[in-house]
Amino acid sequence: MLRQMSVFLSAWVVALFLIANARAADLTVGSLNALHLGWGTTATTKSKCDQIKVLMATVDILFLQETMQTSVPCTGLGTGIQQDCSVMKGASSYKEAYCYVYKSSKITVIAYINASSASFSRPPYAILTKVKVTGKADKYAWFANIHSVFGKTVKPRQDEATAAGAFFKSLTTTTYGTITVPPKGFPVIIGGDWNLAVTNKKNVYQTGFKWVDPVANPTTAPEACPDNDPTSLTTKGAPSSPYDHLVITGVSLTGDATCYFTTNSLSGLGWRQNVSDHMAIYWGVTFK
């Protein structure tokens, strides 16, 4: 399904849309490649952490890629904000951790699982959670975090995206302890920096993302947002490549009609110089 993206409105309009989106949805999920979070000077880290704090005022859970240690080096992110990180991952001397920053009033982490190292340079890290939903019973859901290899050609990215689709589907029936698998499987949200667009400019699902086509995959009926909108930034702060995406199980979740990417109150150049070479993305989702 084609999803609308909103980008680079004035900061207060973006904030207004995000707040409205968060109130309408059961859960607001975000993702950010934080560009070597924890490396560099104290001031560099503080600049990144300040923007993560702003994001956490809107989202319930934020997927972080490129955390350069096994904890998020930020303090004062807000009352009840907790984190969960993977081990350091990487097939070469370069390694990074996947982290989740989340509101403990909304989300409880129950268990975790790593994707197979045979299929990924940095295997996705997934957490099983219990989510509190206003007016509904608590829901169990899996969140999975990914930062695909870039490689010298596009094929390694396509291969990892295909493998991520298999991992995504496997999580729908992966449980822990005495938790019963729901009739339609667990809701799953996988997101991060894929270094690849979901669809081409004609809205055709690309190699690597055929599993996201809901018509061809009715068991999970995935939905993605954004599909093919630039979310990385050039050195001058201009939108560049369509690399960042969130994908949900459409059989158990409904994504809001609009998802967002933003640089908070910063200009594109300000964000690029002080935070990351990727914008943050957000999407409100509702449990069926």
Q: Are 287 and 259 in contact (CB under 8 A)?
A: no
DSSP string, the chain: ---EEE-S--HHHHHHHHHHHHHHSSEEEEEEEEEEETBS-HHHHHHHHHHHHHHHTT-SEEEEEEESSSS-------TTEEEEE---B-SSS--BEEEEEEETTTEEEEEEEE--TTS-SS--EEEEEEE--TTS--EEEEEEEEE----SSSHHHHHHHHHHHHHHHHHTT---TTPPPPTT---EEEEEE-SS-SB-TTSPBPTT-GGG-TTT-TTT--EEESSS---BB-TTS-B----EEEEE-TTTEEE-SEEEEE-TTS-HHHHHHHT-SB-EEEEEEEE-
The predicted structure's pLDDT at residue 166:
98
Residues 48, 77 contacting (CB under 8 angstroms): no
CATH number of the domain residue 202 falls in: 3.60.10.10
Token reading at 79 = 């009352």
Q: What is the tens place of the pLDDT at every residue in 33-91?
A: 999 999 999 999 999 999 999 999 999 999 999 999 999 999 999 999 999 999 999 99
Distance CA 148, CA 68 (A): 16
Provide the number of structural domains found in the chain: 1
CA 281/CA 261 separation, integer angstroms:
4
> Which residues of the chain, if any, have pLDDT below 50?
1-22
Q: What are residue 129's phi and psi, to 5 degrees?
A: -130, 160
CB atoms within 10 A of CB 183: 7
- Quote the pLDDT of residue 24: 81
pTM: 0.92
pLDDT at residue 261, as a whole number: 95
Q: What pLDDT, on a 0 to 100 scale, did the predictor assign at position 5?
A: 45
Show the domain range for 203.
4-287
Assess contact for 187 and 143: CB atoms under 8 A. no
